[in-house]
Amino acid sequence: MPGLRRRRAQITNELGLHLRAANRLVQLARQFRSDVRVFWNGRAADGKSILDLLTLGAGFGALIELEVTGPDSEEAAAALSELVENRFRDRSDGRDLTPEP
């Protein structure tokens, strides 16, 4: 399939794919035209739906697979996997690493 990219990324933040992390992934995914699917433990979720992502229940240490299809799939896959690998910009205690405005 043209424009199909797959990446694996391990969730390394202690809280796993919690609400704030899922929101960050969705917000980033929505910046791209490509479709994003997230797979874990035999289940799939729409990467642009916060509710879908939360239903995965992926916790600390989960190895998720990102599947990105579309015209900007390479850029999207790279950005999304980097976000996951960087603990969704959370500190180890679950607090936000994003600088205050």
Q: Which residues are catalytic?
A: 18
Residues 73 and 79: beta-carbon distance below 8 Å: no
d(CA 101, CA 90): 16
Q: Closest by alpha carbon to 53, among 91, 80, 92, 85?
A: 80
